[in-house]
Structure 1
Amino acid sequence: MKKYNWAILGCGKIAKKFALELKGLPNANLYAAASRNLDNATSFASEFGFKKAYGSYNEMVKDPAIDVVYIATPHSHHLEHTLLCLNHKKAVLCEKAFAINSKEVLQMVKASKENNTFLMEAFWVRFRPKFKKVLDLIKIEDLGKLKMIKSDFNFLGDYNPENRLFNIDLGASSLLDIGIYPVFTSLVLLGKPTQIKAIPQFSPTGSEESIAVFLSYENGSTAVLNSSFKSDYKNDVELSFEKGFIKYDRFSKDPILLQTTTKNQQITFDAGPNLGYQYEAVHVMECLDKNLIESPILPLSTSIELISILDAIRKEAGIVFPNHD
Structure 2
Amino acid sequence: MSKTYNWAILGCGKIARKFATDLKLCPNARLYAAASRSLESAQSFASELGFEKAYGSYEEMVNDPEVDVVYIATPHSHHLEHALLCLNHQKAVLCEKAFAINSKEVGLMIEAARRNKTFLMEAFWTRFQPSFLKVLEIIHSGELGALKMVHSDFAFNAEYNPEKRLYNVDLGGGSLLDIGIYPIFMSLMALGKPSEIKTMARFCPTGAEESIMMSFSYPGGEIASLVSSFASYSSTQTEFSFENGFVRLNRRFYTPTSLTYWKNWEEEKVITFEKGAGFGYELEAAHVMECLDAGKTESDWMPLNFSSDLMEIMDWVRKDAGIVFPKHD
Q: Does TM, normalized by the shorter one, top 0.5?
A: yes
1:151 matched residue in structure 2: 152
2:208 counterpart of 1:207: yes
1:49-64 superposed matches below 5 A? 49-64=50-65
Q: Which amino acid aligns with 1:104?
A: E
Aligned with 1:31: secondary structure?
Answer: strand
2:309 matched residue in structure 1: 305
Checking the alignment, whether the CA contact within 8 Å between 1:155 and 1:231 is kept in structure 2 is yes
1:67 matched residue in structure 2: 68
Q: CA deviation at 1:32?
A: 0.3
- Unaligned segments of structure 1, at least 5 residues: none
Q: Distance in 2 between matches of 1:77 and 1:148?
A: 35
CA RMSD between the two structures? 1.1
Q: Distance in 2 between matches of 1:247 and 1:158?
A: 29
Q: CA deviation at 1:140?
A: 3.4
Q: Which amino acid aligns with 2:320?
A: E
Q: Distance in 1 between matches of 2:289 and 2:144?
A: 35
Q: Distance in 1 between matches of 2:107 and 2:257?
A: 37
2:259 matched residue in structure 1: 256
Q: CA deviation at 1:139?
A: 2.9
1:115-194 superposed matches below 5 A? 115-140=116-141, 142-194=143-195
Q: Distance in 2 between matches of 1:254 and 1:185?
A: 15
Checking the alignment, whether the CA contact within 8 Å between 1:129 and 1:270 is kept in structure 2 is no
2:237 matched residue in structure 1: 236
1:80 matched residue in structure 2: 81
Q: CA deviation at 1:136?
A: 1.6
Aligned with 1:165: secondary structure?
Answer: helix
2:285 matched residue in structure 1: 281
TM normalised by structure 2 equals 0.97
- CA 306–253 in structure 1, closer or farther in 2 if over 3 Å, else same: closer
Q: Distance in 1 between matches of 2:208 and 2:195?
A: 26
Q: Which amino acid aligns with 2:122?
A: E
2:298 counterpart of 1:294: yes
- CA 116–254 in structure 1, closer or farther in 2 if over 3 Å, else same: closer
Q: Distance in 2 between matches of 1:284 and 1:77?
A: 22
Per-residue CA deviations over 1:52-108 (Å, capped at 9, x if unaligned) read 001101111100000000000000000000000000000000000000000000000
Q: CA deviation at 1:252?
A: 5.3
Q: CA deviation at 1:270?
A: 4.1
Question: Comparing 124-133 with 252-261, which one deviates more in the overlay?
Answer: 252-261
Checking the alignment, whether the CA contact within 8 Å between 2:144 and 2:242 is kept in structure 1 is yes
Per-residue CA deviations over 1:263-290 (Å, capped at 9, x if unaligned) read 3211233432322100000000000001
Q: CA deviation at 1:254?
A: 4.3
Q: Distance in 1 between matches of 2:265 and 2:228?
A: 34
Checking the alignment, whether the CA contact within 8 Å between 2:182 and 2:254 is kept in structure 1 is no
How many residue pairs were aligned? 325
Q: Distance in 2 between matches of 1:50 and 1:197?
A: 46
Checking the alignment, whether the CA contact within 8 Å between 2:148 and 2:241 is kept in structure 1 is yes
- CA 290–254 in structure 1, closer or farther in 2 if over 3 Å, else same: closer
Aligned with 2:279: secondary structure?
Answer: coil
1:27-106 superposed matches below 5 A? 27-106=28-107
TM normalised by structure 1 equals 0.98
Q: CA deviation at 1:253?
A: 4.6
1:321 matched residue in structure 2: 325
Match of 2:271 among 256, 263, 267: 267
Q: Which amino acid aligns with 1:83?
A: L
Q: Which amino acid aligns with 2:154?
A: F
Q: Which amino acid aligns with 1:226?
A: V
Q: Which amino acid aligns with 1:266?
A: V
Q: Distance in 1 between matches of 2:271 and 2:209?
A: 36
Moved over 4 A (4+): none
Aligned with 2:167: secondary structure?
Answer: coil
Q: CA deviation at 1:134?
A: 1.3
Per-residue CA deviations over 1:91-136 (Å, capped at 9, x if unaligned) read 0000000000000000000000000000000001001111111112
Checking the alignment, whether the CA contact within 8 Å between 2:129 and 2:256 is kept in structure 1 is no
